[in-house]
Amino acid sequence: DAGVTQSPTHLIKTRGQQVTLRCSPKSGHDTVSWYQQALGQGPQFIFQYYEEEERQRGNFPDRFSGHQFPNYSSELNVNALLLGDSALYLCASSLAGSSYNSPLHFGNGTRLTVT
């Protein structure tokens, strides 16, 4: 049973560049959420995708965008990178219709460093 997989595991980018992170949900899951975790902080909700649409969004600027594909996999895109975007980006999958009590299954994350 494949869990949540994310790629790449590490990434180094320069300020102003753009980055795309990828996520495949756990087998059987159809909802993907993205979180940003800065060092020493808890994960911060970016947005959630279901049925290829953004269903909920946290307090992140429009530079952060995403996409979900028909096979439920998802991408997170960040434009015009800032130094403050350096963080661990976590993808989590779950089953729709039970978000309030459905446990999230997290991937190992992508560690993004912006220089």
Partner 1 sequence: RKEVEQDPGPFNVPEGATVAFNCTYSNSASQSFFWYRQDCRKEPKLLMSVYSSGNEDGRFTAQLNRASQYISLLIRDSKLSDSATYLCVVYDYKLSFGAGTTVTVRA
* Interacting residues toward partner 1 by CB under 8 A: 33, 35, 40-45, 48, 56, 58, 90, 99-101, 103-104, 106-109
Nearest distance, CB of residue 88 and partner 1, angstroms: 8
Q: In this complex, which beta carbon is closest to partner 1, that of residue 43 or of residue 66?
A: 43
Whole-angstrom distance, CA of residue 9 vs CA of residue 21:
9
* Cβ(91)–Cβ(74) below 8 Å: yes
φ, ψ of residue 83 in degrees (nearest 5) = -55, -35
For 31, other C-beta atoms within 10 Å of its C-beta total 23
Q: In this complex, which beta carbon is closest to partner 1, that of residue 41 or of residue 115?
A: 41
Q: In this complex, which beta carbon is closest to partner 1, that of residue 35 or of residue 64?
A: 35
